[in-house]
Every structure is written in C-alpha cells, then in structure tokens.
A and B are shown apart, each in its own frame.
Chain A
Amino acid sequence: MAEILYAIFVGPFRDMAGSPAFLVEVLLGGLFTGLMYSLVALGFVLIFKASGVFNFAQGVMVLFAALTLVGLMERGMPVAAALLITMAVMVALAFLIERVVLRPLVNQEAIILFMATIGLNFFLEGFGELLWGANVKKLDVGIPDRSFMMAGVQINQLEMSAAATAAVLVGVLAVFFQRTRIGRALRAVADDHEAALSIGIPLKTIWVIVWSVAGLVAIVAGIMWGAKSGVQFSLSLVALKALPVLILGGFTSVPGAIVGGLIVGVGEKLGEVYWGPLVGGAIENWFAYVVALVFLLFRPQGLFGEKIIERV
C-alpha cells in the first residue's frame, strides 16, 4: 500500500526534481501541444461568441487550411504566395458560409445551426481531399525542425517559432476585439440577433468577420500541427481535444481558450511522462476528457466563462 502511494504521490516529483532540465523539456513540449489546442479552441470561441453557433467544422477548417497551403506549395508556389492565397481562400470560405449556410438559417434554433456545421464538416473534408488528395503530406515552411541546447535544455526551433507566432496572433486578436467597438457588437450579436439588428449592427458583416478570423486562426494552427506531424486527416481530430479545452476555459472566453489549452497540453504531457508508466501509459489520450468531466460536474461555466443565468 505504502509503495503504491509512494509511486503516485512522491516518486514522480522526485523524478522531476532529479532532472530539472528534462522537466523543462516536458513542460515546453506540453505548452507547444497546448498552444495547438488553444488555437483550435480560439476559433470555436470566436464563432460561438459572435453567433451562438457551435462550429463542429473548426477542426476540419484547420485541415482544409493546411491542405490548401501544402497543395499550393507542392505545385511550386513560394511559401509567402501560398500563404497569402490560403488566407484569401479562408476569407472567401467565410463569405460563402455566411451566404450559403448562416443567412438562410438566421433565427433558427442553435441545434439546427450546429447540425449545419456538421454538414459543413463533411463537405470541407471531402472537398479538401478532392482538391488536394488524401495522402499524408509534408509541410515545410522553411523553419528547420532542429533543436539547440540552451542551459542544458533541448529546445526545438520549429516549436519555438510556432509558439511565438501564435502568441503574436493572440495579442493581435485581443487588441482587435477589445479596443474596437466590434467587441461589444460581437457580444450583442451572440445574445440576441433581432435586438442586434434593431440597434444597427449588420449581422452579415459580423459573421463574415468572425468566420474569417476563425479561418485565419485555423491556418496558423494547421501550419503548426502540419509542420510537426504532417498534413493528414487526423489533423481534424485535434478539434476533439479542443472540446475539453472549451469546457475547461469556458465557451465564451478568449483568455479561457488559451489558458485552457495550455493547462490541458501541459497536464497531459506531465501525466504521460511521470505517471504514465504506473498505468501502462496512454494518459495523454484521456487526461483532457477527465478534466472536462470534473469541470462539468463542479464548474460548468469553465474557468472564465460567463455565469449561466437562468431566470425561473
């Protein structure tokens, strides 16, 4: 008995203290993975805040963006040009989604819009593979996947640049939504479509903006993940990990999406490396969901979500 308790509560921490450089490496790895989750979750939050739509297709948007980028580069286009075109494609996609999916369904129940995004999910998945093929592709954006040593810690150059890019992106978004009037308009649209229209908020413009931003975030996420593990269908499954992140951070909170992603990323890596051997591994696969379950039970609005107000 004492041995088991020791293995759970003392052993792992002794291991951590014993090799701090390795611990930092694990933490960095976790932060990088977490950042990925954050980016996908961020796309969810933006769309959910602005339109009350739970966008099931966010993960596929990541895949679609990465596929488009790789597809263009495979055809000999330089990185910068391919990136610009991919951005244009994602913005065009936002216009198209507003026109074809959202506008006809205005004022419908949330569940109907959700179903529509499931349709969108299948469409984008099929369309992406139709255009660019279904085999695994290598994404090389010109940043070498090399590591260097710093203070005894191995640091991956690709992961670091990706993290820096993501941080800049998040900063820009924060400024955009907080300093501009659009932040308040977004919340208004999320709350009540009719009322938002009546005070002069053009719903269509807001939707195109948030879906475009979600598309751009998807590109960044797609590049990060694609450069690490290749562009393939499983990319869209990252979205499944974004779900517990949303539950943790709160569906309506941008900082929540970021912090939630990082917590999940770091938590599952630490769990896997230090506690994994005790249970034969694979902690990484279920850690996020267990955390989400605990949150659903005790704090359903998440860490930063708005309190759920229900008038009875």
Chain B
Amino acid sequence: MSTAPPGPLLQVEAVSVRFGALLALSAVSLSIHRGDILAIIGPNGAGKTTLLNVISGFYHPHEGRILFEGRDRTRLSPPDVAALGVARTFQNVALFKGMSVLDNLMTGRLLKMGGHFLLDALWWGPAKRQELANRAFVERVIDFLEIQSIRKTPAGKLPYGLQKRVELGRALAAEPKLLLLDEPMAGMNVEEKEDMSRFILDVNGEFGTTIALIEHDMGVVMDITDRVVVLDYGRKIADGPPEQVRKDPVVLDAYLGASHG
C-alpha cells in the first residue's frame, strides 16, 4: 500500500501489566513491522497471552503505550481495536458454537458493513446488496481455508482442529491489517499443524497481512516466522530473526535452564 504511513504497524512501548502482586509484563517493548510474521515465544506464564490481550484491548497496561500506525491506541476497548483492523483468535477457541461455520464467518464481517445498523431496516435494498457482497468475500475465505464441506455445520460440532481453522477464517473475514493468533496450532497433530502453517504463510503471502502469533512448537516457529520475540517472567529477553534467537544463550537458558544447571 502506497498510502501507508512509514514506520512499524504496531509499537508496544515499555508496557507493564500487573495482576495484584504479580507483574505479568514488565516494561516490554517491541515493534511489529508491516508484512512480517512475528512469533512471540516463551515458557508457560511468560506473559505471551497477556501481551496479546493488551494489544487487542482486553487489558489495559498500567504503564507504557500501544501505538497502531503511529497513533496512540493504549486505552481503546476491544471493539474499537477491532475497528482499527486488528483481528485475533483465542487460545481456547472462541467460536459462536451454535452458529453454522458460514454464520461465524459472516459475523467476522459485521464491521465491514457500512452505514448505521438501524437504517438497514428502512432501506432494504442497500442492506441486501451489502449482505451479498459480504457473502461473496466470506465464500472466498471458505475456499481459501478449504472448509467448503462444513460450511453449514454448527461450529460447536466440529473437531478441535477444524474449529481453530474456522476461528482463523472469522478473523480473516474482517480483512485485518494485523492478525493476532494465540497458539493457532495447540493440540493439533502433525498434519493439521502443516495445514495451519501453510494457511498462515498464504495469508501473509497473498494478502500481505501482518501476523503476530504465539506458538510453542519451535519447529513451526523457525519455519514460518520472520522475527521472534522471547518473553520470560514478563520481560523481553530476546528479539531477532529466528536463527539468531535460536542460538541466543539467554534464550537457551530460559528454556533449558534446568539442564544447564
């Protein structure tokens, strides 16, 4: 995009989050650059999900700032963050279980429907056209994720791996600028992980979507990401290309501390 302002898409500046006495994030700073796939890794309880929740507005930091496209967005609510073009998935899959796959994806486009929703009732024509346009886009997402055969199935009835895929689809339906994925491959078998890796790479490659993801599988992280940020006890301990981070002694220590003695 030629109109995009220069600088990183998202900047996290010295963000701290406290839960009572626990410091979940301690002065964490990082940038997510346009078009990148960034991985956030770290041992359990390192603050990865907290960081994602801060970026998507579910938590507000006690200190520090969040800048999206260069503008301060620290205190926005989740719907406002979504309106800026940030979509996310959840660690434990948060689908609308009673709705069909198709309807789940359609809800992802609620923000794309212009005008005021009260006016929909009065002018049926435009609303209908919009619905069709949105439906067309959702069908593209369905094709892209290869979930044609389950489009009418209630999301709650799908196996876990497919639910994760549908959740990704709902996020994609919003045509986000920034896509946040919280453990997109957790609980998947090797084959499902390969599929998911391919989808993530394709989303990034074909739509140019910037992606930040939390992942535990180091093989996947090394394969698909451009940059890796490592958190440990709420602090950032490394930030760089995967091959560099992999050799970083501090990172090795955090992950394999016990065996290093």
Contacts and interface: CB of A to CB of B under 8 A. Distances in A.
Contact of A179 (B56, B110, B121, B170): B121
Interface stretch (B62-70, B79-87, B239-247): B79-87
A199 B104 CA distance: 10
A120 B151 CA distance: 41
Nearest to B167: A195
Contact of B170 (A185, A199, A202, A203): A199
A188 to B, nearest CB: 5
Q: How large is the interface on A (under 10, 10 to 19, 20 to 34, 35 or more residues)?
A: 20 to 34
Interface string B98-124: 110001001110110100011011001
B258 to A, nearest CB: 35
A233 B78 CA distance: 42
Contact of A202 (B77, B113, B120, B157): B77
Contact of B98 (A180, A191, A194): A191
Given A176-B121, A179-B120, A309-B156, A199 B90 contact: no
A204 to B, nearest CB: 9
A275 B95 CA distance: 50
Contacts of A181: 110, 113, 117, 120, 127
Contacts of A200: 78-79, 82-83, 110-111, 174
A199 B117 contact: no
B233 interface: no
A309 B103 contact: no
A184 B121 contact: no
A187 interface: yes
Given A184-B106, A185-B110, A200-B83, A191 B96 contact: yes
A311 B156 contact: yes
B155 to A, nearest CB: 9
Nearest to B122: A179
A135 interface: no
Contacts, number: 93
Given A187-B98, A187-B99, A188-B96, A199 B121 contact: no
Contacts of A309: 97-98, 154, 156-157
B156 A180 contact: no
B94 interface: yes
Residue among A175, A185, A197 facing the most chain B CB atoms (10 A cut-off) = A197
A152 to B, nearest CB: 41
Contacts of B110: 181, 184-185, 188, 199-201
A57 to B, nearest CB: 25
A191 B118 contact: no
Interface in B120-171: 120-121, 124, 127, 154, 156-157, 170-171
B143 to A, nearest CB: 21
Given A179-B121, A185-B107, A192 B97 contact: yes
Contacts of B58: 194, 197
A187 B96 contact: yes
B1 to A, nearest CB: 21
Contacts of A198: 56, 78, 82, 87-88, 90, 94
A306 interface: yes
Contacts of A187: 96, 98-99, 103
B87 A199 contact: yes
A192 B167 CA distance: 13
Given A180-B120, A180-B121, A199 B95 contact: no
A182 interface: yes
B79 A179 contact: no
Nearest to A310: B156
Contact of B97 (A191, A194, A201, A203): A191
A129 B86 CA distance: 49
Given A200-B82, A200-B83, A311-B157, A195 B111 contact: no
Contact of A201 (B79, B157, B170): B79
A200 B111 CA distance: 6
A181 B108 CA distance: 12
B130 to A, nearest CB: 9
B103 to A, nearest CB: 7
A311 B163 CA distance: 13
Contacts of A197: 58, 77-79, 82
Contacts of A199: 82, 87, 107-108, 110-111, 170-171, 174
Interface string A123-153: 0000000000000000000000000000000
A210 to B, nearest CB: 14
Nearest to B111: A200
B75 to A, nearest CB: 15
6 contacts: A181-B110, A182-B117, A184-B110, A185-B117, A188-B99, A201-B107
Enumerate the 9 nearest inter-chain pairs by beta-carbon distance, A residue then B residue, closest first.
Answer: A200-B82, A195-B94, A191-B96, A197-B78, A200-B111, A180-B120, A202-B79, A181-B117, A179-B121
Given A181-B120, A202-B79, 14 more contacts: A184-B103, A184-B107, A185-B110, A191-B96, A194-B94, A195-B170, A197-B58, A198-B88, A199-B170, A200-B78, A200-B82, A306-B98, A309-B157, A311-B157
